[in-house]
Chains A and B, each alone.
Chain A
Amino acid sequence: MTKYLILIAGTADEWNDADPSDRERWHQDHVAFGREVGSAILAGEALDGASTATTVRRRSGTVQLTDGPFAETAEQISGFYLVEASDLDQVVKWCTLLPEIYSLEIRPCIRIEGLTD
């Protein structure tokens, strides 16, 4: 089994400007996803808007905080799921349950000896 991070990207406007009925449908998509994937979801959160992001960099001993995310792009990461699956096709299949307004990026997690179990 491999852990996969599903990064959910979308534009905030798309969600905020949508009809309440659309939002309700997308919400139900997440519910269906949760029901189908069940305990294979190890974690999952919705993230607050990119405008609330703080970037931390440490250079020559000083800590620099910057307002905003790494990159200013139209699509921003708005949430994630961490799931466990046997292969990529399984994750892709689950992803088709999520609202189709998203772009999803699937990344396998690496196991690092001595750091994770």
Chain B
Amino acid sequence: MIQPIEAVWRDEWGRLLALLVAQTRRLDLAEDALADAFERAARAWPEAGVPDNPPAWLLTAARRRILDRLRAEAVAARKQPLLAVEEGQRHGEGDLLRLVLLAAHPSLSEEAGAALTLRLVLGISTADIARLFLVPEPTMAARLTRARKKVVAAGVPLAIPDDEVLPQRLETVARVAYLAFTAGYAPGSGADVVRADLAGEAIRLVRLVRATGRVAEGNAALTALLALMLLQHARRDARVDAEGALVLLPAQDRSTWHRDEIDEGLALVGALTGGSRYGLVPRPTRPAPEGGVALVPRPTRPAPEDGVALQSALAAEYLLQALIAAEHARAAGAEETDWLAIADYYRQLEALTGSPVVRLNRAVAVAEAGDLDNALGLLDGLEEALPHSHRLPAVRAEFLSRAGRHTEAAAAYDLAIERCAHEPERDQLRFRRAALRLI
């Protein structure tokens, strides 16, 4: 009997909480009361059976609890009218968007906003959120309490802002979702399964938000982010081997990738780029000339008339990342990857973000496309921006080794090994250094 409650929790928590907050304007009361209602359900349903309309049952239980609390607070019940909610009424979508915008308000730090969104909108437990962000549970509990207090004290509104401001607010929601996703996507440690689960929750969040209305559905940042997350998340089963070790992209068993998610991701990317890459337009064989317009994904065609891809820098950033993930997803095997296209997307991404990490990734793509000289040139000057990175000398070592410059490669490997703090990775570097044929 546990199953239905968990399913109802998953599907209904955010909607019910949004409704209760909208009715009471009391975040603290609403959250406590809803948690209490679910607790009662967990005790009552196994004996009495699951009610015909579980959300209505929960709503009634939570509202009763709120009334009790309001009376206990000696607030006249007449001053806090609780609206009657008709059963089966279509409600909650506007309320849900209001709740999302409240939890991901830009006056909160991004980390606090992400945690609060996961808690309020998706009903994820404090313990799981703590695990996601790699902090102890009491720390996360305190962070959530501070965030709730800020929301209430600062008067963050439970409202959908004007059309001028809404797209910007939705981008904050996108940032918050992406932060939650990348925390869940962090490779390596033993808690992998749970975290893959929570990365999936970030996808659910964006889906929920996009379902709240036309403005949200048409928001390019949210669409590009959903595509990006789907394309990366689709590889989750291939990323870890039977012993729990990380499997890098070239070695992954592509038959375990979730094709349906990849197809959906590709379709979303296609919608944003006007289908130029995925429709009938033949693929160009050369990358864009240096200095081409940064935000248009394929240089062979002008930007789509409506300029969806150009809606904002954030949207373009997510879209370019999604396009890179799409190239990997489209390739039947690692050796069929279109590195020319990927290198070009990284070039555009670098122009947009100026990030040294993006430049490093770009260099790797250029090397994979067979242009070692240019790849090595792209590493020049990166040392200043990434002084402690072990990945930079490791990449340089790899390039030098491929170029047959073994002595220089060995020195670069030594530097990488010295800087690397991760034991399995250091072993890998030692192995590669030993494999150099020193002349």
Does the CB pair B157–A86 fall under 8 Å?
yes
Is A36 interfacial (CB-CB < 8 Å)?
Answer: no
Proximity bits, A78-97, B CB within 8 Å = 1, else 0:
00000001111111100000
Q: Which residues of A contact B156 (CB under 8 A)?
A: 87-89
Contact of B159 among A2, A85, A89 (CB under 8 A): A89
Q: Which residues of A contact B332 (CB under 8 A)?
A: none
Proximity bits, B147-182, A CB within 8 Å = 1, else 0:
000000111110101000100000000000000000
Does the CB pair A88–B154 fall under 8 Å?
yes
Docked Cα-Cα span, A4 to B153, in Å, equals 11
Is A34 interfacial (CB-CB < 8 Å)?
Answer: no
* Min CB–CB distance B112 → chain A (angstroms): 15
Is B311 interfacial (CB-CB < 8 Å)?
Answer: no
B-contacting residues, A85-117, CB 8 Å: 85-92, 106, 108, 110
B-contacting residues, A62-86, CB 8 Å: 85-86
* Min CB–CB distance A110 → chain B (angstroms): 8
Q: Which residues of A contact B105 (CB under 8 A)?
A: 88
Q: Which residues of B contact A87 (CB under 8 A)?
A: 155-157, 159
Contact of B107 among A4, A86, A88, A90 (CB under 8 A): A88
Does the CB pair B161–A108 fall under 8 Å?
no
Give the B interface residue count (CB, 8 A): 10
Docked Cα-Cα span, A89 to B105, in Å, equals 10
Contact of B153 among A86, A89, A91, A108 (CB under 8 A): A108
Docked Cα-Cα span, A2 to B25, in Å, equals 14
Docked Cα-Cα span, A87 to B157, in Å, equals 6
Docked Cα-Cα span, A113 to B105, in Å, equals 30
Proximity bits, B48-70, A CB within 8 Å = 1, else 0:
00000000000000000000000
Q: Which residues of B contact A85 (CB under 8 A)?
A: 155
Q: Which residues of B contact A2 (CB under 8 A)?
A: 155
* Min CB–CB distance A56 → chain B (angstroms): 28
Docked Cα-Cα span, A88 to B159, in Å, equals 11
* Min CB–CB distance A60 → chain B (angstroms): 34
* Min CB–CB distance B297 → chain A (angstroms): 33
* Min CB–CB distance A26 → chain B (angstroms): 23
* Min CB–CB distance B263 → chain A (angstroms): 39
Q: Which residues of A contact B161 (CB under 8 A)?
A: 89
* Min CB–CB distance B226 → chain A (angstroms): 26
* Min CB–CB distance B237 → chain A (angstroms): 43
Docked Cα-Cα span, A90 to B107, in Å, equals 13
CB nearest to B106 among chain A residues? A92
Docked Cα-Cα span, A86 to B159, in Å, equals 11
Docked Cα-Cα span, A110 to B149, in Å, equals 13
Proximity bits, B30-56, A CB within 8 Å = 1, else 0:
000000000000000000000000000
A-B contact pairs, 27 of them (CB 8 A): A2-B155, A4-B155, A85-B155, A86-B155, A86-B157, A87-B155, A87-B156, A87-B157, A87-B159, A88-B105, A88-B107, A88-B155, A88-B156, A88-B157, A89-B156, A89-B157, A89-B159, A89-B161, A89-B165, A90-B157, A91-B155, A92-B107, A106-B154, A108-B153, A108-B154, A108-B155, A110-B153
* 9 A-B pairs closest in CB distance: A87-B157, A87-B155, A88-B155, A89-B157, A2-B155, A88-B154, A88-B156, A108-B154, A108-B153
| Besides A87-B155, A89-B165, A106-B154, 13 new A-B residue pairs in contact (Cβ under 8 A), listed by A number | A86-B157, A87-B156, A87-B159, A88-B154, A88-B156, A89-B156, A89-B157, A90-B157, A91-B155, A92-B107, A108-B153, A108-B154, A108-B155
- Residues of A with Cβ closer than 8 Å to B? 2, 4, 85-92, 106, 108, 110
